[in-house]
Structure 1
Amino acid sequence: MSIAGASDIPALRVQKTGQFPGLRYGELVERRALRQPLRAAIIHEGAHITYGELLERIHAAAAFLTTQGVRPGDRVVCVSENRPEILTALYACSRIGAVFTPIGIAAPAADVKFILRDLSATTVLVSERSVSTALEAVGTDTEVSIIQLEAESRHGLPSIPVKTAAKVGEIQPEADSPAIIIYTSGTAGHPKGVVLTHSALFFNGVNTLLGLDIASDDVTLVNTPLSHIAALNTLAVATLHKGGSVVIDSKFDAIRCLEQISEYGITTMFAVPSMLTLMAQSPGFAQADTSSLRWILGGGAPMPPELVALWSARSVPVLASYGMTEAGPSISFRRRTDASGKAESSGTPALLTDVRIVSADGTVLPTGETGEILVRGPHTASTYWRDAKATEAAFVDGWLITGDRGLIDADGDLCITGRSKEIIITGGENVDPAEIEHLIASYPGILDAAVVGRPDPLWGEVITAVIVSESNVELNELQDYLRPHLARFKLPRQIERREELPRSPVGKLLRRELSILPPDNS
């Protein structure tokens, strides 16, 4: 019997010119609002926004952005902490044919500036907290408009209203036209823009709703950044498609998270391992009421078996999953009834996803053998934005080369065994070491530098700078030097000093040899 990914499985494709109801990203949410306008769609800081009000806000934002000169095909960047206006702006952009790119509040101005230029963006949406970052990123560029998400601005900026009498028609997109571009860690020291089309996002939604037990009365908690595809598409959007309620918090706080689970009767949420560990270490965890939780979707990094067992003891299954931005992100999910067993499994591939395990020469490997994981499906990205080289390397003959290694076991489950790429995963965040190495190398007195991830029980990996220097370099000094250029989670937390770094005869860094700690790590 063949398994997912075997060559005899036909690829599901959408005609490039095809249009159908629900194709446009956000259209299903609008349709849901017409069917249940009075139900709570979003809850934020205690305030409830009904589906009808959400639809009204989408229409108002779409009309306003049009008056501000946003046209079909324009790229609109949004820099903000988690707040309802992100979803409003996202769906408004989709409605008028613009392409939306969310950026988290932790991004430094240098990253925002790079993305604005890479996209040739026309508009940047900001919150009260991100105004200064956006102003620094935009600088003197008069081609980029700055608009505030909140209905009132203290900075004299145009701001998006929640109501309007103006009407604006909707754009019916082609299936292969871009809807969102999400930036993820690259391999050349700068992020890459992952282009997700309307059809890819539609079929990711189908995959997610078929793969996860999401119910129409679910209340999901979203406290990881909506700039990440998992928070945005796996739970927030899917729950709205199903008609449930989304509780949005601006950031994760372990104690607050436990309080919200009880306060709002949270039934589902997404968490990376460090979040679950911090909650378990919080005072009062033993007495916390988590009885409303039906399951927690785990992702971002391998989930330790003992952590799964701890939450299972509270009758809360932690469902391992595997996904990546380039896949929209859904690739595989565990069933709720399987959560407590076989910790190495990430579940079966989603129904519209083909998974293939190949050797170094591209040969398809049989059940149980470990190799490179390839993914194919109508939900995968079409390209990297303006990066033909990266696109050619990652998308081959319709298959996405994930950069991860694994196997498919006898049960048909996908088991992740490691990474082929050099990406570091810390607290569920992907970090490209090349980006940090480039900056460290410019620090006075540092002669050579490498960045690696060291195992850590809480964060999975901690970013470690391995340096060769003329004089002593203190960690806090290096962090201060890097802070204006890097998001906080990318800052090194450790320094290792060596006489020299391992390199090949042609000077290539032998990063794997750095996984061995030196005898003297002082």
Structure 2
Amino acid sequence: MSVNPTEVPGIRYGELVERRAARQPDRPAILFDGTAMTYRELSERISAFHAALLEVGVRPGNRVLCMSGNRPEILIALFATGRCGAIFVPVNPAAPAIEIAGLVRDSAPAVALWDEDTRVVLEQAVGLSGCEGDSPPVRLRSIDAPRPVPAIAPAPHPVGPDDPAQLIYTSGTTGTPKGVVLTHGALFWNQINLLLGLDVCSDDVTLVNTPMFHVAGLNTLAVATLGKGGTVVLHRRFDAEACLRAVREHRVTTLFAVPTMLGLLSRHDAFPAADLSSLRWILSGGSALPPDAVTVWARLGVPVLASYGLSEALSVSFRTPTQAAAKAVSSGPPALLTELCVVGPDGSALDPGEIGEVVVRGSHVAAGYWNRPDATEEAFRDDGLHTGDRGMIDADGSVVIMGRIKDMIITGGENVDPVEVEHAVAAHPAVAEAVVVGVADPLWGECVGVVIVPAGPNPPSLSELQEFLAPRISRYKVPRRLQTADTLPRTPAGKILRTEVGRLLNDHGDTSPAKTP
């Protein structure tokens, strides 16, 4: 007997959480600001939010935009939107009104949700978007206004695996943000990939303090832990001291951290005495993970699992705990339900060890870009998602990501991998972080430039850094421009804004003479 795809249990995003609530209603689901919410309470609040969205006219296929900082209501609104058959659109709560206005224009939401910190900006954005006064108008609603639990929960709208569930806007580091369309099926299979590939347990306590408007904060450990029946400790934002304290107080077992967060934690004054004995592993992603960061945590018995993922394909690969120390530069093998290959400029598959573009296939890959048919055709091809990322598959089948293809530096005809140079620079004892970019050079086309965050009061000069690197990397890879900064320019999700790094070097960088690279 055939099964209607709209009736497949668990396909609708959030349904697994509701099923958990029916089986373990009294277990704590979310801890936030000192208050615990059980699975029963979480399920009831999802039903109440569902009813409230229906009351304001949300219908299948409508977009529900959400501009809010980290709070349980984001997950509640996300799952309630799925029950409506509508599409959830999270946006950066720290973005200016003019930026949000562009996203409002592009997504044309039926409802825009705000919290106490974003209402004014969101109202301005709707006004600037030109959508105000349209038919129907954008309705603005508070995300955390109390809502009564309906006596009879409204039935969820049936959805299939190909129905859109989320519209995630890319960070815009390469230009205008694109809306990535994630279907219920893609999100479901991403959860399965996570649960098959990561050691997520029913009694896990995961700490979530990365921005939940971002695909990783919204769709990785928080949802995987809830699907397995564990507890999510939710912080409004990342704070190193609060993070270390929460690990001790709540006996946190897993967390997600971008490399910058790992560095801030390990350099915090409270780190040497911190009780981290409950941590089983840390999942890391968002940018290349320096090998030294793995070593610091490995000494404490905490494996750091580097991962590779992107908005267009969610979780693609991750290391296992046993691989964490042995393969410091890899992102582990592809997830179990993921097919990955590396192709050359002509599209032919490359052998292990050869560097090219990473192409991903799987049921977790997005459906395409919202209102961008040309961009969709360019990236989502018959052979898979062309990610624009440089990488290779090593002899053991692990994925090694080497940055964006467009970030490759070509100096005097030689190709320079920025990540390789960044790792070499970061090995200097006086350097906490480093970002390498190409800087226009009249003689060589580009030269290698670096912006560093010092690890102490005495950062290296350019000549001292060049001397340090001379025995470690080829001469043409050694930076010839240097700038020191207190912090590196990043997106809220932790990705480096390389364009801003380039401006720092062009405006202020210390320069060595133009000599043979």
Q: Which amino acid aligns with 1:495?
A: L
Which residue is 1:123 aligned to? 111
**Deviations 1:408-446 (CA, angstroms, capped at 9, x unpaired):** 1111111112321359999xxxxxx9xxxxxxxxxxxxx
Does 2:366 correspond to 1:366?
Answer: no
Give secondary structure in 1 for the equivalent of 2:312: helix
Q: Which amino acid aligns with 2:114?
A: V
1:88 paired with 2:76, answer yes
- Tell me the TM-score normalised to structure 1 length: 0.78
Residues 13 and 184 in structure 2, CA contact (< 8 A), matched pair in contact too: yes
Q: List gaps (5 residues or longer) in structure 2.
A: 409-417, 423-436, 438-445, 456-484
| Percent identical residues | 50
Structure-1 residue corresponding to 2:395: 410
Taking structure 1 as reference, are residues 519 and 146 closer, same or farther at Cα in structure 2, changes over 3 Å only?
farther
Q: Secondary structure at the match of 2:327?
A: coil
Q: 2:175 aligns with which of 189, 211, 216?
A: 189
Q: Tell me the distance in 2 between the aligned counterparts of 1:409 and 1:488.
A: 25
Q: Letter of the aligned partner of 1:338 in structure 2?
A: Q
Partner in structure 2 of residue 144 of structure 1: 138
For residue 62 of structure 1, what is the aligned residue in structure 2?
A: 50
Cα distance, 1:456 vs structure 2: 3.7
Aligned equivalent of 2:381, options 396, 406, 426:
396
Answer yes or no: is 1:269 the counterpart of 2:278. Answer: no
**1:280 to 2:274 alignment:** no
Paired amino acid for 1:47? T
Whether the 8 Å CA contact 1:96–1:170 is kept in 2: the answer is yes
Write the mapping of 1:407-486 to structure 2, written as runs, cut at 5 A.
Answer: 407-422=392-407, 454-456=450-452
SS where residue 495 of structure 1 aligns? Answer: helix
Partner secondary structure for residue 395 of structure 2: coil
Instruction: Give the SS at the match of 1:355.
Output: strand
1:495 to 504, 514, 517: 504
- 1:384 is aligned to 2:372: no
Paired with 1:177 and 1:384, the residues of 2 have a C-alpha distance of 14
Query: Partner of 1:139: helix, strand, or coil?
Result: helix
* Alpha-carbon distance, 1:234 to partner: 1.3
CA contact (8 A) 1:79 1:130 kept: yes
Q: Deviations over 1:343-369 (max 9, x none)?
A: 111101001100011111111111221
Instruction: Give the one of 345, 348, 356 matched to 2:330.
Output: 345
Q: Structure 1 residues 164-173 or 375-384, which shifts more?
A: 164-173
Paired position in structure 2 for 1:155 = none
Corresponding position of 1:511: none
SS at match of 1:357: strand
Higher mean alpha-carbon deviation, 275-284 vs 488-497, is at: 488-497
In 2: Cα distance, 1:517 partner to 1:21 partner? 61
Residue 105, structure 1, aligned to residue 99, structure 2? no
- C-alpha displacement of 1:139: 1.5
Pick one of 311, 320, 323 that aligns with 1:325.
311
What is the Cα deviation at residue 19 of structure 1? 4.0
Seen in structure 2, the aligned counterparts of structure 1 residues 276 and 188 have a Cα distance that, compared at 3 Å, is closer
Instruction: Report the alpha carbon displacement of residue 495 of structure 1 after superposing the two structures with TM.
Output: 3.1
Alignment deviations for residues 144-170 of structure 1 (CA, whole Å, 9 cap, x no partner): 11100122xxxxxxxx51633353111
**Cα contact 2:6–2:158 (8 A) shared by 1:** no
User: 1:277·1:458 contact (CA, 8 Å) conserved in 2?
Assistant: no
> Closer, same or farther in 2 for the Cα pair 1:42/1:162, shift >3 Å?
farther
Conserved? CA contact 1:16–1:176, under 8 Å = no
Q: Which has the higher contact order (CA 8 A, sep 6+)?
A: 1
Rounded Cα–Cα distance in structure 2 between residues aligned with 1:241 and 1:55:
13
Q: Indicate whether 1:171 and 2:157 are aligned.
A: yes
Q: What is the Cα deviation at residue 228 of structure 1?
A: 1.2
Residue 291 to residue 392, structure 1, CA distance change in 2 (3 Å): same
Instruction: Please list every run of 5 or more consecutive structure 1 residues that lacks an aligned counterpart in the other structure.
Output: 1-14, 152-159, 427-432, 434-449, 460-475, 477-481, 500-514
Q: Report the count of equivalent residues.
A: 439
- Does structure 2 retain, via aligned residues, the 8 Å contact 1:23–1:199? yes
Q: Deviations over 1:65-122 (max 9, x none)?
A: 1101111110010001000000000000000111001112212212211111101111
Q: Deviations over 1:462-489 (max 9, x none)?
A: xxxxxxxxxxxxxx9xxxxx9xxxx998
In structure 1, C-alpha distance between the alignment counterparts of 2:386 and 2:512, rounded to whole Å: 33
Task: Give 2:63's aligned residue.
Answer: 75
Q: CA deviation at 1:254?
A: 0.7
Give a deviation string over 1:181-216, Cα, whole Å, max 9, x none. Answer: 100034773100000001111100110111100000
